[in-house]
Amino acid sequence: MSFLIFILGAGFLLVLYLIWIRPWQLHWGATEEEVQRPMPGDEIVTAPSFDATRGITIEAPPEALYPWIVQMGITRAGWYSYDLLDNLGRPSAREILPNLQESFPGQLIPVSPDGKQGFYVKEFAENEWMLWWDQGDSVTWVWMISPVGEGQSRLVTRVRVRYHWSLRDVFFNLILEFCDILMMAKCMRGIKERAEAMAR
């Protein structure tokens, strides 16, 4: 009897996640137009398993946002998120770091503690967007900045991932599926806080 209750409860939670929680977390803060809008890199990961478009309004012009994105990465400026979890316990930068403002195609954006694994810059347009990828066809991560008013911008990010099912990849998939929204929302709010402070 208790096993049946467990199965029914797990089934209910799964349905709840698929119908309500997953659509909400995949489109956190984004408008319907932003979700549907084509973005750089969409053509790289076709038929993604995970396709998340998130957005936030920032009271600052694009040029006050872009430098924070350029310098991101572990062993760099951090991720402006939960530093204990994603930046080896080191505080993320609260200022623009001039030595980390250069971008070029093929540049590594590190995500591993040794600074040797991560995403790579594929393309960018200064103060408009930056596209990272895995140098293959499984992962893209793009940041897009659009002016929406006097001294105001929309920051929209899209992560597209095609899941693979090796033992190692399943662990990564589960973390991405259930935890990415927590880190991403905190990261985007961190950029907002820093950019608005700089604009002031």
The tens digit of pLDDT for each residue in 181-193 reads: 999 999 999 999 9
* pLDDT score for 58: 98
What does pLDDT average to over the chain?
Answer: 91
Domain that holds residue 121: 2-199
Please state, for a pLDDT cut of 90, what percent of the chain lies above it.
72
* pLDDT score for 167: 77
- Looking at the predicted structure, is the pLDDT value of residue 114 above 80? yes
pLDDT (tens digit, 9 = 90+) per residue, 20-34?
788 999 999 999 999
CATH number of the domain within which 103 lies: 3.30.530.20
**Residue 89 zone, left/alpha/beta (φ > 0; ψ -120 to 50; rest):** left
pTM: 0.90
Point out the least confidently predicted range of 13-17, 102-106, 158-162: 13-17
Contacts of 142 (CB under 8 A, 6+ apart): 39, 40, 41, 129, 130, 131, 132, 157, 158
Residue 107 pLDDT level (bands cut at 50, 70, 90): very high
DSSP element (H, E) containing 103: none
The helix/strand/coil state of 167 is: helix
What is the Cα gyration radius of the chain?
18
Residue 104 pLDDT level (bands cut at 50, 70, 90): very high
Total structural domains in the chain?
Answer: 1
- Residue 169 · residue 163 · CB < 8 Å: yes
Neighbour-count burial for 99-114, b at 16+ CB within 10 Å, e otherwise: eeeebeeebbbbbeee
- Which of 25, 72, 17, 31 lies closest to 185 in space, CA to CA? 25
